[in-house]
Amino acid sequence: VVGVNHRTAPVEVRERVVFDPARIPEALRELTGLPAVRESIIVSTCNRTELYCVTDQGEAALGEWLQRYHQLGSSIHHCLYRHDDMRAVTHAFAVASGLDSMVLGEPQILGQLKDAYRTAQETGTTGPMLNRLFQAAFSVAKRVRTETQIGANAVSVASAAVSMAKTVFSSFDTRTALMVGAGETIALAARHLHADGLRRMIVANRSVDRARDLAAEFQGFAISLDEIPSHLREADIVVASTASPNPIITRAMTASALRARKRRPIFMVDIAVPRDIEPEVAELEDVYLFTIDDLQSVVKENMEGRRQAAREADQMIAAEADRFEMKLRTRDAAPTIRRLRHQAEQTREHTLDQARHMLAAGRSADEVLDFLSATLTNRLIHAPSQRLREAAETGDDAVIEAITDIYHLDRD
């Protein structure tokens, strides 16, 4: 594995090595065309670009190819990392499980890896090794997510806001959310709400065009900030995050909305600094108001929970990497095992054929059985017995020790 990620390279470097999705098949063919490369997969996201390759003796100049492909000269050489052999396997497992992500435990990377793998398969640049590696990585990631709490707790302000809303409302499918602002945090909170079943959304923003763009993603509708007083009564959930220097939602405005709602509760989250919702709103009954400080304390606590889960996942990944290595070794021995079994089967068939001829000639069953067992035994142990005698003559203790282990012989 050769690549850059959010730990080794700033965004201005990462954005220069991102692969255009439409051109990845072409890039894969070029990469696999390098003399030493036999298989390849390209993973390219906003936080990482990685080349997963099977190479001859690790001699492929993958970093140089990456820089040359993006016409960067050697400007990113100091940002590149490289993992070989089992370190590459462990890294792939950690990436798939979300342990190497900017947001610890985030699940999106697994889908991105699956997309990258599918593209490489369709392009024809995967083979036995990368197929095994990525199938194992997907299996490990599923186990980590199932058996640890790595993804159980909200670790972004937006997801924490939605988690807190769940403590007020058992479900969102009959609720209306008012999103005040149209920035990244509001968009992320809107996506979390939508994913959790919210069906009606109002987006209020100073620029109504930007509000319309975000609202369209969720089949919602857009309003200006000046229209909030007319629509606040409809909102069961309010999430606010704008750059306004003054509060947008006042105590009086909220009190009026509560009267119109006949005291049905409103859950409010103010993520903005300076605040978008007057602090005095919290004094009203039937309002649950949380600030950015409340959310950050939840995020901090949840992140510690994820770190503990990550420690458990690290142990799981180490065990899975050992299992993967063992399977690879078994695969390396498979041709020899097949030859050994084929040779033994030929010996059995030849000896059995002789025994049948003896029976046909009128020899007694006891005599034939004695011949069959003695001859088959002698023929099967002939080669190792001969090798033991040669080893004894030359003082080759390693061969004697190996055959002793293979046949589980008593050393005494």
Q: Which residues are annotated as catalytic? A: 46
CA distance 74 to 408: 57
The structure tokens 């610890």 sit at 104
Could you give the 3-state DSSP secondary structure of residue 67? helix
∠ CA 344-345-348, nearest 5°, is: 90
CA distance 112 to 225: 37
Which tokens is 351 given? Answer: 């000896």
Report which DSSP code applies to 23: G
CA distance 28 to 121: 10
Q: Taking Cα atoms as reference points, which of 47, 52, 63, 66 lies closest to residue 5? A: 47
DSSP 327-387: HHHHHHHHHHHHHHHHHHHHHHHHHHHHHHHHHHTT--HHHHHHHHHHHHHHHHHHHHHHH
Given a contact cutoff of 8 angstroms between Cβ atoms, the answer to whether 162 and 299 are in contact is no
CB burial readout 145-163, b (16+ within 10 A) else e: beebbbbebbbbbbbbbbb
Q: Taking Cα atoms as reference points, which of 61, 33, 29, 55 lies closest to residue 42? A: 29
CA distance 350 to 251: 97
φ/ψ of 235, rounded to 5, equals -90, 125
